[in-house]
Amino acid sequence: MRRPHALFLPFPAQGHILPLMELAYRMASQGFTITFINTHFNHARLLSSTTTPPSFNFISIPDGMQPEDDRNDIAKLCHALLKFTPLHLLQLINTMNTQESDKPTCFIADEAMAWALDVAKKTGLRSAAFSTSSANTYTNMRSVQCLIELGIINEHDGSAKKPGQVFILSPGIPPMNVDHLHWNCFLDSESNKIMFEYIVNNNKELKNADHEFVIFNSFYEAEKAVFNYLNSSKMLPIGPLLSKHSSSVSLSRCFWADDKTCKSWLDKQCDNSVIYVAFGSLAILDERQFQELALGLTLTGRPFLWVIRPDITGKATTSLLERFEDVIGDRGKVVEWSPQEEVLAHPALACFITHCGWNSTMESVSNGVPFLCWPYFADQNLNQSYICDVWKIGLKMMPNENGLITKEEIRGKVEELVGDEGMKKRALALKEMALKSLDKGGSSFENFITFINAMKDDV
Ligand code: UDX
C-alpha cells in the first residue's frame, strides 16, 4: 500500500500558515507524507526565523508580486495571486505526478485560495478546503448572492445599501452589521472592492470544485447555530488547532522569532495579574494610538506584556520605543514576538487585549482568558461579536468621536473586565468545551478521524 501524501497550500499570511501547518503536523503523525507549499517570499522568511525547520517537505512557488511590493496590502496580494499563481501550482503538481515515488494523493487548500481546488480537480487529486476563519465568517462570505437578493449589499462591490444596517442570516446566527462583512473591512473602498471580487471568485471556485470537505479551525460547541445552519456532514470543525497538541510547539512556524524571555518574566508575576497585548501579524496602529495605548496600560497600574511587532506602526519602532521607555517603566515587558500559545496558557494572565484574529480568539478561548476586543480589519469585527455578544467572555473597546481608543477607555475597560467574575467563569466553561471537543469521543476529535480516513481512502 502507498503512503498517503498530502499537499498543503496556505494563503500567504502568517495567520493562515500557522493553522495549516498545525494540521500538517497532525496529519504527518497519522502516517501522511506532507509537502507544504509557501510562496517564495514567505518560505524565505520562515526559514530565516528558525533554527528548527519543519520535518516535512517545504517548497515554494511565486506569488506574482515584485520583490519590493508590500505584501501586507492584502488586496494587492490577492489580485497578484489570482493572476499568476494557478499556473505555477499546476506545473508543480504535474511535475510531482511524473515521479511515482513523489506522487501526491490529496490536496488541502486554504479556503482563501479556493482557485487551487480547480488545480486539484485538473490534476486528479482528491481535495479539501480549510477555513482558517470561523464558520460564521465562512457563511457570510458564501452568502453574497443571498445578500444581493435581499437588497442588503450592492452587486458591483458588496458595499452596504444602508450603512449600519443589522440583519440576521438565519435564526440563531449572530446578528450582523453590514459594515462588518468581511470584504467591507479593508483599508479603503478600492481594497474592499478587490476583496469582494476575490471572494466572489472563491465562491464560484468552491461551487465548481470537487472537494470532499470543508474543515474549520473551530469547534461545534462554539458555533452550534452556524454549523446547524450549514447542516452538512461535509463541513467539519476539527479545532481548535493548538501546537501543544502536536508537539510542534518547539518548531518555529512564524515570520519572527519567539522572544523566550516572556516565560521567565511571567513566572515572576502574580497569578491572574498580567494584561497581555498583541495584535497578530498584520494590524497597524498609528503613532497617536500607539501612544494612547502605552499611557493607558500604565494607567491601569498592572503588569503588562506587550508585543510590539517591528512593523506595528507601519514604520520602524525603535525611536518610538525609546520615547516610551519611561512610560512603560518596570511594570511593562515589551517583546517583538511572543510564544503566544504559551503566554496565554500562563497562570499569570488576567486578560488579553487583542485585535480578535481568529487564531488568537481560538487560542485565548482554549485557555479561558477573557478578552478586550480591538478589531482591526477583515473578519475581526465578526469575531468580536462572538466574543462579546454570543459567548459573553469579553468587552469591546469603544473609540471616541475621533476614532481614538483613549487611555481612560483602556484603563476603564481593563478594570471592568478583570473585576467581572461572571466573565471569567464563562471563559473557563468555554475552555472546558474546547478541550473536551479535542478528546477522544469529542466532536472535533471524531471529525478529524472522519476527515483523515477519507483522505487516506483508496491509497
Ligand atoms: C489573519 C487575520 O487577521 C485573522 O483575522 C484571520 O482569521 C487569520 O489571518 P492575524 O491578523 O495574524 O491573522 O491574527 P491571528 O489570526 O490572531 O493569528 C496570529 C497568530 O500569530 C496566532 O496564532 C498567534 O498565536 C501568533 N502570534 C501572534 C504569536 O505567536 N506571537 C505573537 O507575538 C503574536
Q: Which atom of ligand 1 is nearest to the CA of 14?
A: 12
Distance separating alpha carbons of residues 439 and 431, to the nearest angstrom: 13
pLDDT value at 236 more than 70: yes
Share of the chain above pLDDT 70, in %: 95
Which tens digit of pLDDT belongs to each residue from 247-293? Answer: 554 456 889 989 989 999 999 999 999 999 999 999 988 888 998 99
Going by CA atoms, what residue is nearest to atom 15 of ligand 1?
A: 357
What pLDDT does residue 100 have? 84
Shortest CA distance to 39 belongs to which of 73, 1, 71?
A: 71
Q: Is 441 left (phi over 0), alpha (psi -120 to 50) or beta?
A: left
Confidence of residue 243 (pLDDT cuts 50, 70, 90): confident
Statement to judge: residues 73 and 45 lie in one domain: yes
pLDDT value at 354 more than 80: yes
CATH of the domain at 402: 3.40.50.2000
| Beta pairing, strands 371-373 & 394-396 | parallel
Average pLDDT over every residue of 163-168:
94
* CB 22 near ligand 1, within 6 Å: no
* CB 379 near ligand 1, within 6 Å: yes
Q: Quick check: ipTM above 0.95?
A: yes
Q: In which residue are the cell numbers 495567520 written?
A: 15
What pLDDT does residue 318 have? 65
Most confident of 37-51, 69-83, 261-275: 261-275
Spacing, Cα 188 to ligand 1 middle (Å) = 22
Average pLDDT over every residue of 173-200:
91
Domain presence at residue 109? yes
Going by CA atoms, what residue is nearest to atom 11 of ligand 1?
A: 280
Q: Which atom of ligand 1 is nearest to the CA of 336?
A: 33
| Beta pairing, strands 5-9 & 106-110 | parallel
Domain presence at residue 425? no
What pLDDT does residue 330 have? 76
Statement to judge: residues 366 and 447 lie in one domain: no
Torsion, Cα of 329, 335, 339, 345 (10° steps): 20
- Give me the DSSP letters along 293-307: HHHHHHHHTS-EEEE
**Substitution candidate for ligand 1 out of 359, 364, 366 with most atoms within 8 A of CB:** 359
Shortest CA distance to 214 belongs to which of 105, 356, 112, 79?
A: 112
* CB 282 near ligand 1, within 6 Å: yes
Spacing, Cα 356 to ligand 1 middle (Å) = 9
* CB 239 near ligand 1, within 6 Å: no
Statement to judge: residues 214 and 72 lie in one domain: yes
Domain presence at residue 407? yes
- Is-contact 104 94, C-beta < 8 A? no
Statement to judge: residues 225 and 269 lie in one domain: no
Statement to judge: residues 131 and 10 lie in one domain: yes
Domain with 70 in it: 5-251+440-456
The mean of the pLDDT values for the chain is 92
Domain presence at residue 430? no
* CB 17 near ligand 1, within 6 Å: no
Torsion, Cα of 222, 225, 226, 230 (10° steps): 130
Confidence of residue 171 (pLDDT cuts 50, 70, 90): confident
Statement to judge: residues 91 and 157 lie in one domain: yes
pLDDT value at 47 more than 90: no
What pLDDT does residue 381 have? 94
* CB 364 near ligand 1, within 6 Å: no
- Is-contact 377 192, C-beta < 8 A? no
Domain presence at residue 426? no
* CB 343 near ligand 1, within 6 Å: no
pTM of this prediction exceeds 0.90:
yes
Domain presence at residue 256? no
- Is-contact 79 194, C-beta < 8 A? yes
Statement to judge: residues 311 and 362 lie in one domain: yes
